[in-house]
Amino acid sequence: MPGPSPKSRNRRAIIIGGSMSGLFTAAFLRQIGWQCDVYERSPVELVGRGAGITTHPELLHALEASGAGTRELGIEVEKRIALDREGRVIAERPLRQILTSWDRLQRLLRATIDPAHYHLGWSFERVEQDGGGVRVHFNGGRVEEADILVGGDGVRSTVRGQVAPELQPIYAGYYIWRGTINEADLAPKTLKDIFPYFVFYLPPRQEVITYPISGFNEDLRPGHRRYNFIWYRVADAATLRAMNVDERGVQHEFSVPPPLIRKDLIAQMHADARDIMPEVMLDCAMKIPQPFITPIYDFTAPQIVFGRVAMTGDAAANPRPHMGFGVAKAGNDAEALAKALDSHDDIDAALKAYNAERQPIGNTIVLHSRKLGTHMGVDLKTEEDRRMHALLQDDGAMMDWIAVPNFLDAYR
């Protein structure tokens, strides 16, 4: 990206959300000379989340272009394999891919931001616009003024909740049990048979995916790495609501914080795993220190710019995680926003150009994720849904479709 232009030097963006979307946005906007302040509602640094992330060429490009870089990004696997109930390899595909973690990406991106411009413990409350800028109100009475406000605060975006309250995430009808296991805790057979690979196990209307990621503090030494575990399962809305009652009996609207997930749910998860999983997968499921549940939601958006408010990442359009593309999308949105603002003298024209470029792409990504989600057999409304569901019952087809690079080429 070219250096700052004179017109950008006195321009300012307020960015809501201190995770991937917010950090990418700040990194790219600072490159074109904008002053950026990131506001995160959490009072503590966002670390220790540990979830695995599949990389794509678009993500690698965004990391390099933003200045975050790709050093010691993760673990490269050379192929994918699929297992049957007995743990035998029944299909495989050569596909070199780097598997990284949320922690590693957060650290790389966090290092691009001056700590003085990254503010913890501030919750967005509302925004006012007058045609020439924004006034952003936070908890505690804090008010900040800027040229634009960027909502990079995820699928449950509080910014989007004000400017487009009608855009609500839709429950997909299934959820994920997930977690990470220390390499040192896995059985020798598990380490030999599956640890080096991107692995699929596909019981009826379920999907288990596992792969290696770096250990704590980005440790890539053998014996110090972790193994990422993802188990998709079907549940209707009523079942999910019951699962969202925590260990104290408190009902949560969307999901339960991991430490508060009920022990009886974890025990049932373990029992179900014993019933259906091959030995090496069961070894993983039983050794997750703190399993957690992620309900799957998505939504498309008819627009991602609302006056001087622009949305990026999952706040703009939220795909299901079958492509492992959420962070890549966040980086691509942020870069496109910066390029539009740098190439237009008029901010409103720039935001209009950004919307025209990224809104259709975001919706395409969501629609593609729904196509992959037909594997679960939930809410198959059309003949195309049923055709994709039938196709994706084949292990080889799943390996050819799930989290593969360059999938957007088919839509260009």
Average pLDDT score, the chain: 94
Say yes or no: 387 and 334 in one domain.
Answer: yes
What distance in Å separates the CA atoms of residue 339 and residue 332, rounded to the nearest whole number?
11
Say yes or no: 284 and 337 in one domain.
Answer: no
Return the pLDDT at 50. Answer: 55
pLDDT above 90 covers what percent of the chain?
A: 90
Say yes or no: 95 and 109 in one domain.
Answer: no
Say yes or no: 142 and 162 in one domain.
Answer: yes
59 within domain boundaries: no
Model confidence over 130-142: pLDDT tens digits?
A: 888 999 999 999 9
Q: What is the 3-state secondary structure (H, E, C) of the chain?
A: CCCCCHHHCCCEEEEECCCHHHHHHHHHHHHCCCEEEEEECCCCCCCCCCCEEECCHHHHHHHHHHCCCCCCCCEEEEEEEEECCCCCEEEEEEEEEEEEEHHHHHHHHHCCCCHHHEEECCCEEEEEECCCCEEEEEHHHCEEEECEEEECCCCCCHHHHHHCCCCCCEEEEEEEEEEEEEHHHCCHHHHHHCCCCEEEECCCCCEEEEEEECCHHHCCCCCCCEEEEEEEEECCHHHHHHHCECCCCCECCCCCCHHHCCHHHHHHHHHHHHHHCCHHHHHHHHCCCCCEEEEEEEECCCCCEECCEEECHHHCCECCHHHCCHHHHHHHHHHHHHHHHHHCCCHHHHHHHHHHHHHHHHHHHHHHHHHHHHHHCCCCCCHHHHHHHHHCCCHHHHHHHCCCCCHHHHHC
70 within domain boundaries: no
63 within domain boundaries: no
Count of domains for the chain: 2
Say yes or no: 240 and 92 in one domain.
Answer: yes
Return the pLDDT at 4. Answer: 55
Return the pLDDT at 44. Answer: 72
* Order of strands, sheet of 309-311, starting from the edge strand that comes earlier in the sequence: 118-120, 35-40, 12-16, 148-151, 309-311, 305-306
Tokens 């809104």 identify what position?
Answer: 359
What distance in Å separates the CA atoms of residue 195 and residue 227, rounded to the nearest whole number?
7
Say yes or no: 194 and 224 in one domain.
Answer: yes
Q: How confident is the model at residue 10 (pLDDT cuts 50, 70, 90)?
A: confident
Which of 262, 297, 332 is at the close of a domain?
A: 297
What distance in Å separates the CA atoms of residue 154 and residue 16, rounded to the nearest whole number?
10
Question: Which residues constitute the domain of residue 390?
Answer: 6-48+105-169+302-411
What distance in Å separates the CA atoms of residue 71 and residue 324, rounded to the nearest whole number?
20
132 within domain boundaries: yes
The CA radius of gyration of the chain, in Å to the nearest whole number, is 21
Model confidence over 304-334: pLDDT tens digits?
A: 999 999 999 999 999 999 999 999 999 999 9
What tokens appear for 284 in the block? 């993983």
Q: How confident is the model at residue 48 (pLDDT cuts 50, 70, 90)?
A: low
Query: CA nearest 200: which of 69, 350, 83, 118?
Result: 83
Say yes or no: 125 and 25 in one domain.
Answer: yes
What distance in Å separates the CA atoms of residue 124 and residue 15, rounded to the nearest whole number?
10
Return the pLDDT at 51. Answer: 79
Say yes or no: 234 and 348 in one domain.
Answer: no
CATH number at residue 165: 3.50.50.60
pTM: 0.94
Residue 9 pLDDT > 80, yes or no? no
Say yes or no: 152 and 181 in one domain.
Answer: no
Say yes or no: 114 and 193 in one domain.
Answer: no
Let me know: does 282 contact 189? Beta carbons within 8 Å: no
236 within domain boundaries: yes
What average pLDDT does the segment 239-253 reach?
Answer: 96
60 within domain boundaries: no
Query: CA nearest 334: which of 322, 326, 324?
Result: 326
What tokens appear for 68 in the block? 């975050």
Which of 253, 279, 297 is at the close of a domain?
A: 297
Q: How confident is the model at residue 7 (pLDDT cuts 50, 70, 90)?
A: low
Let me know: does 193 contact 319? Beta carbons within 8 Å: no
Say yes or no: 403 and 324 in one domain.
Answer: yes
34 within domain boundaries: yes
64 within domain boundaries: no
Let me know: does 209 contact 199? Beta carbons within 8 Å: yes
Which of 266, 297, 328 is at the close of a domain?
A: 297
Say yes or no: 217 and 343 in one domain.
Answer: no
Buried b (16+ CB within 10 A) or exposed e, 328-360: bbbbbbbbbbbbbbbebeebeebbebbbebbbe
Model confidence over 100-156: pLDDT tens digits?
A: 988 899 999 999 999 999 999 999 999 999 888 999 999 999 999 999 999 999 999
CA distances from 279 to 16, 283, 284, 335 (A): 44, 6, 9, 44
CATH number at residue 199: 3.30.9.60
Residue 29 pLDDT > 70, yes or no? yes
Let me know: does 227 contact 198? Beta carbons within 8 Å: no
Return the pLDDT at 43. Answer: 78
Model confidence over 339-387: pLDDT tens digits?
A: 999 999 999 999 999 999 999 999 999 999 999 999 999 999 999 999 9
Return the pLDDT at 264. Answer: 97
